[in-house]
Amino acid sequence: MKIVIQRVSKASVTINEEKVAEIKNGLLVLLGIVNEDAQEDINWLVRKVANLRIFNDENGVMNKSLLESNGEAIVVSQFTLQASTKKGNRPSYIKAAKPEIAIPLYENFVKTLENELGKKVQTGEFGADMKVELLNDGPVTIIIDSKNKE
């Protein structure tokens, strides 16, 4: 399971010209899933998302977590995070999990994050053509792969 976390001043997701998710200060989390992913990957990544100290404290130092800053979150499924670009110029998405595996894991990631944060997490729509708009704050962008824990 791979995520891209972006600290944002604002972010939104639009599908068919309808805004389905919108937050102010918080995190936009792009989530890519492979067949081998499991609840262990979800638990580890959710703890990282909730507790990474990437929000400024009163001294302007990145010393607060999403939990401590009371920020919001949007989670967007993005199979292209699992692209392989080793051969040629056309990315291969063969590692990306098929919907029957990915959808339950995606939904469980969102529920687990909601439990960890104690609040609703907004989402895009799995498999939809989404327009994601964000104002990256910092900019702060972090990539985490649950298969590289050490």
Based on the residue annotation, tell me whether 80 is a catalytic residue of this protein. yes
Q: Which amino acid, 69?
A: S
Q: Where are the alpha helices (DSSP H) in 15-142?
A: 39-51, 66-69, 99-117
Q: How far apart are CA 59 and CA 131, in angstroms?
A: 35
Provide the phi-psi class of 111: left if phi over 0, else alpha when psi is between -120 and 50, else beta.
Answer: alpha
Other C-beta atoms closer than 10 Å to the C-beta of 8 total 25
For this structure, is 78 an active site residue? Answer: yes
Q: Encoding tokens for residue 126? A: 């799995």
Active site residue 14: no
Catalytic residue among 6, 55, 78, 122: 78
Could you tell me the CA-to-CA distances from 82 to 16, 31, 89 in Å, in that order? 25, 9, 15
Give the sign of the dihedral formed by CA 26, CA 142, CA 114, CA 11: positive
Q: Per the residue annotation, which of 55, 79, 82, 122 is the catalytic one?
A: 79
Question: Catalytic residue among 6, 14, 55, 80, which?
Answer: 80
Just list the catalytic residues.
Answer: 78-80
